[in-house]
Chains A and B, each alone.
Chain A
């Protein structure tokens, strides 16, 4: 991931037509940067601004879809507060040196280390006017063509973010800004190319920028800018949830964020990359109904595209089957017969493979919270509350503090008869294809206790496509259902 981001960063530089010829005399940084400040309103105008609030919107280049919508408020004293509506409801900011973030998905957290440094740096407003104090060792490194304009390239130093800016030699205006942004799992190259300018209260600022951030390319529009509106410190104070969390953290009682716990679980289970390469799974084993002394043999196959087949062989009850060929879901048993399920049950089949859910977990939930650290069967576990995307299904998960692995899940299980609460305890894992896979699972549901033991777990083995083919009687039922639906539609 890191190397790819660096490549993108290098690509940005390499794509700029390098026109610098050795031997030419380059200006001093002051000549470039002071000229820019002058061209955009002058130092007095820049320094008269104590705070600014900018309403921005990011749009996809092709579809004009809004992918970012936020209100960014920054004060000269370094405080800031950003309210984000898109891509998710969130806020973040800096208040008296405390860098924080809150998301509706994962709740509050406090930024530390390099992330905090970056947040504080990003909270500086109109900093080109203060380059002498902030970046006293800046250098002009060359002159080159960028976005069709002949520019001076300035490195802002000292700077951990490896920041460079290109200024139009003809107009003195900023053409492009690039930097390396640290993220939770590495770094990402960002470049902003100015497309348009606008004057506002005696200051000229970019009103449209083309942004390349990693693999993403989008346009940011500045919809409105307001100066000196939020100058009081109270405007930037921590939200209550963040303040409470900060107090817990300072008292040594703060729990890790649910986001962090889940990511650690993914890492401990083999890492997102291992899960992303997963294309098929085949699991066989026995399911023991402990109270009744019954044992069922089970076979489960699934692959991408929502194809799925499962059979359970129960003594005295026969073979219970369920499957989907990716477009029709079905089930049959000796007791209830064959059934082509309603089309509505197909929703979500695109992620039939469990492992696919791992890497994309954020797409499947609307909220995650760490609720407690508690002992389960003698193991210290973090209890995480998870609300599904639909906002209705709530489950609890207990992740082991010692190794990050999931130990227990409490969740409603859907049946054709209704929903039943169940508790699944993952008692043993086995490493298969680089992934730690649960192979002993204890299930408690409606007063019954079941124990699943996997004999075999095969990941990414070729699966004969005929496994997922619809049985003939299901095919007929589905055809009847389709024709019935068509004929019943007015």
Chain B
């Protein structure tokens, strides 16, 4: 009764490393037309089989198939094909569904998420992904003011089916002595995690630590667990659960050998999505961090990105996320403990009001 237990150990340990909670965005030959139809079938079937809600938000998915497939068949350009697919996905009313054009993989990395964030925050003007246009990437927050461990140019990375991305990381001590960590994607753990570890060690005697996730669209989901492990010393904690069609998994936190136990502030804004939201909400629920800034994107569905037969990539959600205290982030976002808007005052004065608010909170904790 050979069970191949070794592979049973191997597979689950790596399976969810690929789950990204990152946000996204002439004439056709007969072969292209066939590839487009195959791609349509793949997209339609994947949604039917993997959408976390088996009822597909009440949609008649078969009727949608019947109406949309002929349009793919008659489409005369790739943009038209993508438009039909996006329109179909838009009806789901959920984030983390995107068609990423194959050309995007041939262009150089941009400074922020290459795949734009389709968000569905019900309370904000930012709506679900446009059915016809790929979402433009949000500009990176221009907040780096000199760092001890920064990479101004960023590191170009390519991971799985994501387009090329430029990864920035900075860790420095603010004049107040408070440690400050910021990175623009939850990606490339091989380089990011040792930097976080070094920073946490350097900040061991700091009065507090700030993790700035503003503009961070997420990335590899379990990196939220990994980073939380630097700030939580007790075993058995979790950042929430993700529910798939056939399983429910917990974002378990594994404490690191050395953890930082002082005050922790997490900064967020409308550009904070997915893994960034899971981290912020999870730490807030555990009472481990104070979240400052503005309401987050409300786009927190663990997802996967697959290559379609026509060369485009398809991002689809395959799980829903619920925090430890039962909060569903999709469409709702993380509500900061302290809302701070970095408005005109801050920008014109060259100040970062959100960081200042975090510093004030940390200073208050010391008294």
What is the interface of chain A, defined by CB distance below 8 A to chain B?
262, 265-266, 269, 281, 283, 287, 289, 291-294, 296, 298, 300, 302, 310, 312, 314, 316-318, 320, 322, 331, 333-339, 352, 354-355, 357-358, 361, 364, 386, 397, 406, 409, 411, 413-422, 424, 426, 437-438, 441, 443, 445-448, 450, 452, 473, 476-477, 480
- Asked if A447 meets B14 with Cβ closer than 8 Å, knowing A318-B189, A406-B2, A417-B252, the reply is no
Give min CB distance, A398 to chain B, whole Å.
13
12 contacts between A and B (CB under 8 A): A287-B10, A298-B10, A316-B159, A335-B189, A413-B12, A414-B8, A415-B249, A438-B4, A443-B11, A445-B12, A447-B245, A452-B10
Whether B15 pairs with A445 at a CB distance below 8 angstroms is: yes
B223-249 interface mask toward A, CB cutoff 8 Å, 1 = contact, 0 = none? 101100100000000000000111111
Give 18 new A-B contacts, CB below 8 A, not counting A322-B9, A335-B193, A337-B229. Answer: A269-B2, A283-B6, A287-B10, A292-B306, A296-B14, A312-B13, A314-B17, A317-B220, A331-B13, A334-B189, A354-B3, A354-B4, A355-B2, A415-B249, A420-B249, A421-B247, A441-B4, A452-B7
Chain A residue at minimum C-beta to C-beta distance from B194: A334
For B11, B245, B254, the residue with the greatest tally of chain A CB atoms inside 10 Å of its CB is B11
CB neighbours of A438 from chain B (8 A): 2, 4
Please determine whether B12 and A336 come into contact, CB atoms closer than 8 angstroms: no
Please tell me if the beta carbons of A424 and B4 are within 8 angstroms of each other in the complex.
Answer: yes
Q: Closest Cβ of chain B: how far from A266's Cβ, in Å?
A: 7
The closest CB in chain B to the CB of A368 belongs to B1
Contact of B252 among A337, A386, A416 (CB under 8 A): A416
Q: Nearest-CB distance from A454 to chain B (Å)?
A: 10
- The answer to whether B13 and A265 have CB atoms under 8 Å apart is no
In-complex Cβ contact of B254 among A293, A337, A419 (8 A): A337
Report whether B2 and A337 are in contact in the complex, using a CB–CB cutoff of 8 Å.
no
Cβ of B65 < 8 Å from any Cβ of A?
Answer: no
Asked whether, in the complex, the Cβ of A289 is within 8 Å of the Cβ of B7, the reply is: no
A318-B190, A420-B15, A447-B50 given; A293·B307 CB < 8 A: yes
A320, B1: Cβ atoms closer than 8 Å: no
Smallest CB–CB gap between A260 and chain B, Å?
A: 13
Q: Do the beta carbons of A294 and B160 come within 8 Å of each other?
A: yes
Whether B248 and A338, one on each chain, are in contact in the complex, defined by CB atoms closer than 8 angstroms, is no
A300-B2 in contact (CB<8A)? no
Is the pair A312, B10 in contact by a Cβ cutoff of 8 Å? yes
Contact A411 B252 (CB under 8 A): no
Query: Would A422 and B17 count as touching, CB distance under 8 A?
Result: no
Docked CA distance A225–B196 (Å):
76
Closest to B238 in A: A417
Task: Please list the residues of chain B having a beta carbon within 8 angstroms of any beta carbon in chain A.
Answer: 1-18, 46, 49-50, 157-161, 187-190, 193-194, 197, 220, 222-223, 225-226, 229, 244-252, 254, 256-257, 304-307, 318
Instruction: A413 to B6: give the CA distance in the assembly, Å.
Output: 11
> Do the beta carbons of A294 and B18 come within 8 Å of each other?
yes
Contact status A320-B13, CB under 8 Å? yes
Contacts of B244 in A (CB 8 A): 446-447
B157, closest chain A residue (CB): A316
Determine whether the beta carbon of B11 is less than 8 Å from that of A422.
Answer: yes
The CA of A289 and the CA of B222, in the complex, are separated in Å by 18
Q: Which of B1, B193, B304, B318 has the most CB of A within 10 A?
A: B1
- Pick the residue among A265, A298, A320, A477 that contacts B257 (CB under 8 A): A477
Assess the A413–B8 pair: CB atoms within 8 A.
yes
Question: Which residues of B have CB within 8 Å of A447?
Answer: 46, 49-50, 244-245, 304, 318
Q: Chain B contacts of A334 at CB under 8 A?
A: 189-190, 193-194
Residues of B within 8 A of A361 (CB): 1
Q: Are A473 and B257 in contact (CB under 8 A)?
A: yes
Candidate in A316, A414, A448 with the most chain B CB atoms within 10 angstroms: A316
Taken together as a complex, chains A and B put the C-alpha atoms of A406 and B4 apart, in Å, by 11
Indicate the member of B190, B194, B307 with the most A CB atoms within 10 Å.
B190
A296 and chain B: residue at smallest CB distance: B14
CB-contact partner of A418 in B158, B161, B220, B249, under 8 A: B249
- Contact at A337–B306, with CB atoms within 8 Å? no
Contact A317/B4 with A300-B10, A473-B257 known, Cβ cut-off 8 Å: no
Chain B residues within 8 Å of A419, by CB: 247
Chain A residues, Cβ within 8 Å of B250? 417-418
Which of B6, B15, B256 interacts with A448 by CB under 8 Å? Answer: B15
Q: A294-B18, A339-B254 are in contact. Are A322 and B13 (CB under 8 A)?
A: yes
- Across the interface, A357 reaches (CB within 8 A) one of B5, B223, B246, namely B5
What residues of chain A lie closer than 8 Å to B11, measured between beta carbons?
287, 413, 422, 443, 445, 450
Q: When chains A and B are docked, how far (Å) is the Cα of A334 from the Cα of B4? A: 26
Find out whether the CB atom of B251 lies under 8 angstroms from the CB atom of A358. Answer: no
Residues of B within 8 A of A289 (CB): 18, 160
Q: CA–CA, A447 to B8, complex, Å?
A: 16
Contacts of A331 in B (CB 8 A): 13
Please determine whether A411 and B8 come into contact, CB atoms closer than 8 angstroms: yes
**Contact assessment for A291 and B304 in the assembled complex, using a CB-CB cutoff below 8 Å:** yes
Contact B254 A266 (CB under 8 A): no
Residues of B within 8 A of A418 (CB): 247-250
Question: In the docked arrangement, what's the CA distance between A320 and B189, Å?
Answer: 12
B270 to chain A, nearest CB (A): 27
A320 to B304, CA, bound (A): 20
Q: Most A CB atoms within 10 A — which of B4, B16, B50, B245? A: B4
Minimum CB–CB distance for B260 against chain A, Å: 14
Contacts of B46 in A (CB 8 A): 447
State in angstroms the CA–CA spacing of A146 and B332 once bound together: 88
Q: Smallest Cβ distance from A331 to chain B, in angstroms? A: 7
Question: Which chain B residues lie closer than 8 Å to A445 at the CB level?
Answer: 11-12, 15
| Alpha-carbon distance between A447 and B193 when the two chains are bound, in angstroms | 28
Please give, as numbers and ranges, the residues of chain B lying within 8 Å of A473 by CB-CB distance: 257
A448 pairs with B8, CB closer than 8 A: no
Q: Are B304 and A354 in contact (CB under 8 A)?
A: no
* Bound: A370/B133 CA distance, A: 54
Q: Which residues of B contact A269 (CB under 8 A)?
A: 2
**What's the least CB distance linking B262 to chain A, in Å?**
20
| C-alpha spacing A289/B306, complex, angstroms | 10
* Contacting residue for A317 out of B8, B12, B17, CB 8 A: B17
B134 CB, nearest partner CB in chain A, Å: 21
In the bound complex, how far is the Cα of B226 from the Cα of A477, in angstroms? 17
Residue of B nearest to A291 (CB): B306
Q: Which residue of B lies closest to A315 (CB)?
A: B159
Report Cα–Cα, A357/B17, bound state, in Å: 30
Residues of chain A with a CB closer than 8 A to B1's CB: 262, 265-266, 357-358, 361, 364, 386, 397, 406
Q: Check B14–A300 contact: CB distance below 8 A.
A: no
Residue of A nearest to B242 (CB): A417
CB distance from B18 to the nearest CB of A (A): 5
| Chain B minimum-CB-distance residue to A275 | B2
